[in-house]
Amino acid sequence: MLKRLVDLFEIVKSLKKKTLIGVNAVDGHSLEAIAEAVRMGIVTAIVTGNSQEILKQCEIHGLDSQLFQIVEAGIEEDAAMIAVKLAKSTSGSILMKGLINTDKYMRAILNKEVGLMTPGGILSHVSVIDNQNYHKLLIVSDVAIIPYPTIQQKIAMTHYLKEMAVTMGISRPKIAIIAPTEQILPSLVSCTDAVEIMNAAENGQFQPAIVFGPMALDVALDIESAQIKNITSEVAGDADCLLFPNIDAGNVFYKTNTKLCGADQAAVVMGANVPVVLSSRGDSKQTKLNSIALAALLSK
């Protein structure tokens, strides 16, 4: 079982090498992370974009341009479409966002003719957070893509949390459906939605995961709080996964961990035919490298 994020690299190195495809990777941050992943033996790499700019950035940042195959694309849209087609035709591939507008990146992935989605598929952002103040890794969703998920989307998100946890070696993932309280308050969508998700859990939809909700964050993460409130679920105080009610709660939790707690993190988008790395320009090289390794772990 994966204990801390740093352990991810040794695990991935023991697997068959995956192919990373960088979308419009014409920026130094993306190229540095991709080059390091190649040097570590995690992936081979193809990058799309303006070849002259890619070579210029390699020179500025002291990177060996021979570490990756460069595929010429004049504009962002072309770089995205070429990369998506390559990902679709390449076994064991990973798609990674470079210097491209997120909307253009996602449009290529969702393209009905050449994209990476199966009909009816749902994309969701799944993060792994390594906060030294918690006794294990936390897998959380959704902090970046789905603003106010429907019940159907929340059920899909719960499946993705379970899939990520199992892939990380957790045999019976404990998933907390986060809300402000354990009471079923009709005025709170987070509470009423939790009841619907629990109904799905009781019908065996998320096996082998243990799902509980609604559950306040303190109860999910702190056994003393759970004891004071007399909550006896196996999930209480020992959650592996947190399903947030909306992007407001999820995004604030994510940024509180990274900016105030100094937590390490990795993230991928799940639901496409290949793992998708949706890195931000503000993400550090280490976060991007962590995310590449996580995607490599998930790639089939």
The per-residue pLDDT for range 156-176, each reduced to its tens digit, is: 999 999 999 999 999 999 999
Residues in contact with 135: Cβ distance below 8 Å, sequence separation at least 6, in sequence order: none
pLDDT at position 12: 95
160 falls within a domain: yes
My answer on whether 73 and 44 are in the same domain is: yes
pLDDT at 118: 84
Residues 82-122: tens digit of each pLDDT: 999 999 999 999 999 999 999 999 999 999 889 999 888 99
Burial 89-117 (b: 16+ CB within 10 A, else e): ebeebbbbbbbbeeebbbebbeeeeebbe
Q: What is the tally of structural domains in the chain? A: 2
Dist. CA 294–CA 40, nearest whole Å: 14
Claim to verify: residue 160 and residue 232 sit in the same structural domain: yes
CB 95 within 8 A of CB 275: yes
Residue 169 located in a structural domain:
yes
Same domain as 244, residue 135: yes
Say what the pTM is.
0.94
The residue segments making up the domain with residue 193 are: 124-259
Q: Which runs of consecutive H residues, i.e. helices, occur in 23-64?
A: 28-39, 51-60
* Segment among 71-80, 139-148, 281-290 with least mean pLDDT: 281-290
Does residue 105 share a domain with residue 78? yes
Q: How many CB atoms lie within 10 A of CB 259?
A: 9
Tell me whether residue 156 is in a domain: yes
Q: How confident is the model at residue 74 (pLDDT cuts 50, 70, 90)?
A: confident
CATH of the domain at 162: 3.40.718.10
pLDDT tier at 209 (50, 70, 90 boundaries)? very high
CA dist 72 → 23, 44, 46, 94, 232 (Å):
11, 18, 11, 19, 58
Q: What is the mean pLDDT of residues 36-44?
A: 96
User: 142 with 48, same domain?
Assistant: no
Residue 220 has pLDDT above 90, yes or no: yes
User: Can you read off the two tokens belonging to residue 184?
Assistant: 């079923």
Give dist(CA 191, CA 177) in Å, integer.
9
Is there a domain that residue 265 lies in? Answer: no
Say which CATH number the domain at 73 has.
3.40.50.10950
pLDDT (0 to 100) of residue 291: 96
Locus of tokens 């429907």: 150
Tell whether 232 and 207 lie within a shared domain. yes
Residues of the chain above pLDDT 70, percent: 99
- Rounded Cα distance between 52 and 286, Å, is 26
